[in-house]
Amino acid sequence: MNIQWFPGHMTKALRMMEENVKIVDAIGYVLDARSPAACFNPSFDKIIGNKPVVFILNKCDLADDKKVEEWCNYFRHSNLSFVKITATASKEASKITQAFATVTAPLREKLKAKGLFKPVRCLIIGVPNCGKSTIINCLSGRKAVITGDRPGVTKGKQWVRLQSGLELLDTPGTLWPKFDNDTVASRLCFIGSIKDDVVDLYEVSCMLLNELSAMYPQYLKDRFKLTDVTLPANALFEQIATKRGFLLRGGDIDVERCAKAILDDFRKGKIGKITFDTPEVLL
């Protein structure tokens, strides 16, 4: 399946980031811990330039702890600043503010020596539905920006000032114009970074079943009460539909309902704590 999704507002968002990066001191790069590699947007490379970056591994409550630790080790060995968090937990806020304080310390010291003070400004970037707005609300301790469990909720830039003195610029989740890697595209579909409306949910759910049967066969067996997960994805799909009672009048499978249920179970962590990629794919 050829997956492509780059609506017009994303072009505007990239231009807006390029304009505003000049006035920020650091960047918070949000990655969904279920597929961090797929969340690296090549269009962000030009925007980031030489700005200090804090990589924020978000949604760790839904991700594979062992693979998340591999990502943490990758960032450590690469001397990259990072935090691993679950943005829906308010106690995580201090980790992020401390990371921003650390990467901007040289700048703040320089300003202090000149007797100057200005708020530290950080640009928050990431693919759609990675949790940028939830992170900002976590940091502010209030619903400062609109959030949602679907891509495209944030439409424009939003500045939020925190009591710590940080000023955060939330930006729309942004992809890149063309996916050259089908695996990356499918995983972005799994985690909800690409709108369900623009893809064939049956094909996406079958691709998900393929990945899970290879990486997490026991999770698949346990969640859907399957005995043999080595079967082709379409056969697994039919079994799940039958076991769940996703059938139409006459006994045909309710394909859309079953596909949505499989994806929903994954996205809500009901199948298990899952991460699809490891840092080796970046090396």
DSSP for 152-205 reads: T---S-EEEE-TTSEEEEE------S----HHHHHHHHHTTSS-GGGS-HHHHH
Domain boundary among 170, 186, 213: 170
pLDDT at 6: 85
pLDDT at 143: 57
- Looking at the fold, whether 204 and 74 belong to one and the same domain comes out as no
Domain boundary among 170, 191, 218: 170
Helix (H, G, I), strand (E, B) or coil at 98: helix
Q: Assess contact for 33 and 63: CB atoms under 8 A.
A: yes
- Looking at the fold, whether 219 and 143 belong to one and the same domain comes out as no
- Looking at the fold, whether 137 and 229 belong to one and the same domain comes out as no
Instruction: Tell me the CATH number at 223.
Output: 1.10.1580.10
Q: Assess contact for 130 and 60: CB atoms under 8 A.
A: no
> Does 72 map to a domain?
yes
* Domain span at 247: 200-282
DSSP for 10-66 reads: HHHHHHHHHHHGGG-SEEEEEEETTSTGGG--TTHHHHHTT--EEEEEE-GGGS-HH
Question: Residue 31 forms beta bridges with which residues?
Answer: 57
- Cβ of 160: how many Cβ atoms within 10 Å? 18
pLDDT at 250: 86
pLDDT at 223: 97
> Does 19 map to a domain?
yes
pLDDT at 238: 97
Strands 53-58 and 120-125: unpaired
> Does 52 map to a domain?
yes
- Looking at the fold, whether 154 and 221 belong to one and the same domain comes out as no
Q: What is the spatial distance between Cα 267 and Cα 4, in angstroms, rounded to a whole number?
A: 21
pLDDT at 137: 84
- Looking at the fold, whether 278 and 164 belong to one and the same domain comes out as no
* pTM > 0.75: yes
> Does 162 map to a domain?
yes
- Looking at the fold, whether 163 and 233 belong to one and the same domain comes out as no
- Looking at the fold, whether 14 and 116 belong to one and the same domain comes out as yes
Instruction: Tell me the CATH number at 134.
Output: 3.40.50.300
pLDDT tens for the chain, residues 1 to 283: 788 888 888 999 999 999 999 999 999 999 999 999 999 999 999 999 999 999 999 999 999 999 999 999 999 999 999 999 998 776 788 899 899 989 998 988 888 888 887 788 999 999 999 998 888 888 877 655 444 454 444 455 678 887 777 888 888 899 999 999 999 999 999 999 999 999 999 999 999 999 999 999 999 999 999 999 999 999 999 999 999 999 998 889 999 999 999 999 999 999 999 999 999 877 6
pLDDT at 37: 97
What is the count of structural domains for the chain?
Answer: 2
Contacts of 222 (CB under 8 A, 6+ apart): 272
